[in-house]
Structure 1
Amino acid sequence: MNLEGSNAVQILLLVGSISLIPALLFCVTGFTRILIVLGFVRAGLGTQTTPPNQVLVGMALFLTLFVMGPTLDEVKDRAIEPALAGKISTLEAIDRGQAPMREFMFKQTRKSDLQLFIRLGKVENPRIQRDIPTRVLIPAFIISELKTAFQIGFLVFLPFLIIDLVVSATLMSLGMIMLPPVFISLPFKILLFVLVDGWALITKSLVLSFG
């Protein structure tokens, strides 16, 4: 009975840990930044549910895989393949695998955010990056990603806002107060976005922002 109970607990813990893996991966990759910026694009266009959430999430996921490609390849070469070949233990594979991910996060994390969580985590005088625990690095990385995403999102949203203001002011000067400005501004925003190849520009800017 004790053995069965122990197995049940292990299975429960395994299922719970598997359910946390997607959230963990999204928090240590560029997924958050990419998805937020794409959300700003849709909000700026004013198309509400177009593209739908499923399309934005799918696009963000594959862009994340593209951006994280070199890092994930390094994780595979240094940790996954040796572990599958039985050359290293699971714990050693985890230790090796997190090194490339930590390096990626350090590159994208602002020093101010890192210092904030070092103080909050009460980490005493870290001299090198290895001295900073992953539990401190991850929240600092997330905060930095949110800041970067909102900065890019503001720059993306600004041209659409200007179009809305111009259309609104024009309608008011013509005395057409009862006509919602969105009826006029929406076609112009979509036309402008298509003419400048907006999706390609947004994608290029997102990929280069991780450089």
Structure 2
Amino acid sequence: MKDLKLRDKVRTLLYMIGMVAVLFMAETTIAYATSDDDDLSNSILSEQPVDENRTNIREPGSSENADDLKQLNIANSLTVSYDGGNGELAGTLRILLILTAISLAPILLVTITSFTRILIVLHFTRQALNTTSAPPNQVLIAISLFLTFFIMQPTFSQIYTDAVVPFENGDIQLEEAMDLAIAPMREFMAGQTQVKDADAFMQIADIPWDGTDWKEVPTSVLIPSFIISELRSAFIIGFIIYIPFIVIDMVVASVLMSMGMMMLPPTTISMPFKILLFVLADGWNLVIVNLVRTFY
């Protein structure tokens, strides 16, 4: 048995040695240019006119500048065009800017629209009811999105009419279209921003402002001022929503204390009463309708 294994190993080794020997013994094939090919190339080069100032491919170092190499098609050139020669952005750069704007769309939706106030108020409402997962976050976000589109519809329509349509028709350039698109958004944010917030950021930016003309406020200052005002408004509305439910918690806790049920959590008993009060008062209609009216 051992002899058979040894024979197999020796046989395999001999096969490998034979293959290596065949590879090394193979002849090397070399191709040489014929005299006819050389005569043909010399005749082609001799037919061209001789110019002392022209780069000679047979004389290395005879080129004086990059243009000489371009004539021989030796050097490659790369040209980056920012515009088409008429003041417009190049097509590739325009596509890049559009894709960048699309990627920033979620951030813009949260920061410069009514989405933030609506979502925070709906979260406060859910916490006041003591229903931690009803309605779920997906439902609250969906409601906030549709309410945002409803509130921002006049602004979006104005942007489409003033900026998008003229730009598609070729009546205005991209820069002018951007300015016309930002103007309705600035008007909306200025209407919801408190003067003290804008004045605080203007002082931080060291820009003088008398607090009357919103056109003097840069967009980079108006956006954070608008966000601060939205957070303040959302928390004020949330506090107002909390008040009736806090009263219910206090009443339930007092009743349980008087009955000696101190070990029973008041929130567990008060939650059905909160839901009952919210349903009887048509709470969702009151909250959402009055929340939307705060933007008008």
Between the aligned partners of 2:173 and 2:195, the Cα distance in structure 1 is 34
How far does residue 165 in structure 1 lie from its aligned partner after superposition? 1.3
Match of 1:110 among 194, 210, 219: 194
**Matched residue type, 1:130:** K
Per the alignment, residue 201 of structure 1 pairs with 286
Per the alignment, residue 82 of structure 1 pairs with 166
| Pair 1:210-2:263 in alignment | no
Deviations 1:131-177 (A, max 9, x none): 21000000000000000000001001111111111111110111001
Structure 1 segments unaligned to the other structure (5+ residues)? 5-9
| Aligned residue-pair number | 208
Q: Where in structure 2 are the equivalents of 1:1-211 lying within 5 Å?
A: 17-125=101-209, 128-211=213-296
**Matched residue type, 1:188:** F
How far does residue 73 in structure 1 lie from its aligned partner after superposition? 1.0
Between the aligned partners of 2:79 and 2:270, the Cα distance in structure 1 is 67
**Matched residue type, 1:53:** N
Deviations 1:12-49 (A, max 9, x none): 87655432221112211111000000000000001001
**Matched residue type, 2:131:** T
Q: Is the 8 A contact 2:117 2:234 kept in 1?
A: yes
Structure 2 segments unaligned to the other structure (5+ residues)? 1-76, 81-92
Between 1 and 2, higher relative CO (CA 8 Å, sep ≥ 6) is seen in: 1
Q: What SS does the aligned partner of 2:148 have?
A: helix
TM-score by length of 2: 0.66
How far does residue 70 in structure 1 lie from its aligned partner after superposition? 1.1
Q: 1:45 to 1:3 in 2, by over 3 A?
A: farther
Deviations 1:152-205 (A, max 9, x none): 010011111111111111101110011111221111101111111111001111
Q: What SS does the aligned partner of 1:68 have?
A: helix
Per the alignment, residue 3 of structure 2 pairs with none
Q: Is the 8 A contact 2:159 2:181 kept in 1?
A: yes
TM-score by length of 1: 0.91
Between the aligned partners of 1:102 and 1:142, the Cα distance in structure 2 is 13
How far does residue 86 in structure 1 lie from its aligned partner after superposition? 1.9
